[in-house]
Amino acid sequence: MPASSPRRAAVAPVATAALLVLSGCSSVVIGLPSAAQPPASDLPAAELTVVGATDGPVDTLARNALADLETFWAQQSPEVFGRDFEPLAGGYFSVDPGDVDPVDHPQGIGCGSDPREVEGNAFYCQAPDAPNSDSISYDRAFLGELAEQHGRFIPALVMAHEFGHAVQGRVGYPDYSISVETQADCFAGAWTAWVADGQGRHSQIRAPELDEVLAGYLLLRDPVGTSITTEAAHGSYFDRISAFQEGFDAGNTACRDNFTAQRPYTQSAFRSANDAASGGNAPFQAAQGFAADGLAEFWTLTFDQVFGETFTAPGVQPFAGTAPDCATDDLDLVFCPDEGLVGYDVEDLAGPAYEQLGNADYAVITAVSLPYALAAREQLGLSSDGGEAVRSAVCLTGWFSAVFFDNELRTAEISPGDIDEAAQFLLAYGTDPSVVPDVQLSGFQLVDLFRNGFFEGAAACDVGV
């Protein structure tokens, strides 16, 4: 974060997605699993100094990442920004805030901060005339907790994000805090793709760990209902993982160019006291009604305005445990073309997802949208089964969600955190073949398909436009 003193957390108008059919193509890129690459080797401590570091796993992972980040940006900075990368003048600092002796830090850590100020955090700081300016500091105990919950790559991810701020310190910061933070997420995504491709000497990530990385961002988002104009805003869960995936898919040129004041963000404040009191979530039965009504309204509009056709809404049938007889397979989400029926399991899927994700009403809407999109494809004369259709349905769910987000549907209003719930649902439930059948997609790939539909519209979703 660009500041004269460290802050715990790093505003742009929301752009309308509407019913636009934007140009672009859907891309879901997963790097080679590191098992197929030469094994990474730990960097000896003598080759890169991290003040206060131990020989524990977190400091080892952080040091490995920092060494590879130095290599990555030495390559990337001339190509992307037309200038050599200047190494961090202030160095790196590792702290366990619960076991600090200030005598060991006569000039503090980054920018002269008290070591205890980094508790539960990591930060890059740059402050003229301050000791240890242009440096990265981190709480290794905190990073260890994150790694236990969301995988061993998390300390490396945090280093990549903070290193992204160091890059900004050299080439310039975007105008708003949320743009600063999400651009750093994008830079972290570009570096992670480089590692996934086997180019890091000391860091590695396996393809399944990318799901853990996205899940870990849930702990790093701003609280739901935070205004986009809040000082040091970092972004919603979807904002942050979208930026990470953009860097992973498109590289640092996209990170350089796409974080202007015009970038759309999904983070927003609650519109009313009632919305805040409910956390932006409707009761389960109401969510079911919003799904049926909202999807019918969306597809009626899009068939008319985009495809020049008339849409016939399918019936929507919740079921408990056993799919309707018309379904070919006993899945949790089904579409019966002959009967024009969409079904979803409230006992095994929609109900548990609603509860386990925290009264997540939009998780229910996301679930129903997947087979509903297959019904729309069938009416367009496109396939409604097989891998191509399933990928398209996930992407179309992103398009529907963008229109819903822009409040262009009369059925219901979007609430803060709703789009986050869509991503959470896909990560937590989408890899179950009873939910997303016929293809073997990771959670990372599912969210990427959804993201493409959300930002690019129908053009990304293989529906002939």
Instruction: State the DSSP string of 355-415.
Output: HHTTS-HHHHHHHHHHHHHHHHHHHTT---SSHHHHHHHHHHHHHHHHHHHTT--SS----
Between CA 151 and CA 155 the distance in angstroms is: 9
Q: What is the SS3 assignment for 302?
A: helix
Residues written for the chain: 465
Query: Which residues of the chain are modeled with pLDDT < 50?
Result: 1-38
**pLDDT of res. 39:** 54
Between CA 253 and CA 320 the distance in angstroms is: 48
What is the full DSSP assignment across 421-457? HHHHHHHHHTTSTTTS-SS---HHHHHHHHHHHHHHB
**pLDDT of res. 371:** 98
- Phi, psi angle pair for 50, to nearest 5°: -120, 110
**pLDDT of res. 37:** 45
Between CA 385 and CA 377 the distance in angstroms is: 10
Between CA 200 and CA 205 the distance in angstroms is: 10
For 233, counting Cβ atoms within 10 Å of its Cβ (0-12 exposed, 13-18 middle, 19+ buried), the class is buried
Whether 49 and 91 have beta carbons less than 8 Å apart is answered as: yes
Task: Give me 317's structure tokens.
Answer: 């049938």
Residues 6+ apart with CB under 8 A from 8: 120, 121, 123, 232
Nearest Cα residue to 238 out of 255, 207, 214: 214
pLDDT tens by residue, 225-252: 898 888 889 999 999 999 999 999 999 9
pLDDT tens by residue, 81-136: 999 999 999 999 999 999 988 777 889 999 999 999 999 999 999 998 899 999 99
Q: How far apart are the first and last CA of the chain?
A: 41
Between CA 294 and CA 288 the distance in angstroms is: 10
Task: Give me 190's structure tokens.
Answer: 């570009």
Between CA 219 and CA 213 the distance in angstroms is: 11
Between CA 323 and CA 348 the distance in angstroms is: 11
Between CA 142 and CA 179 the distance in angstroms is: 25
Alpha helices in 56-176 (DSSP H): 57-81, 140-150, 154-171
What is the full DSSP assignment across 149-203? HH-TTHHHHHHHHHHHHHHHHHH---SSHHHHHHHHHHHHHHHHHHHHTT--SS-
Task: Give me 424's structure tokens.
Answer: 């959470």
pTM: 0.89
Task: Give me 45's structure tokens.
Answer: 């401590």
Nearest Cα residue to 417 out of 278, 314, 258, 298: 278
Stretch (H or E) spanning 333: strand 333-336
Between CA 415 and CA 360 the distance in angstroms is: 11
**pLDDT of res. 413:** 83
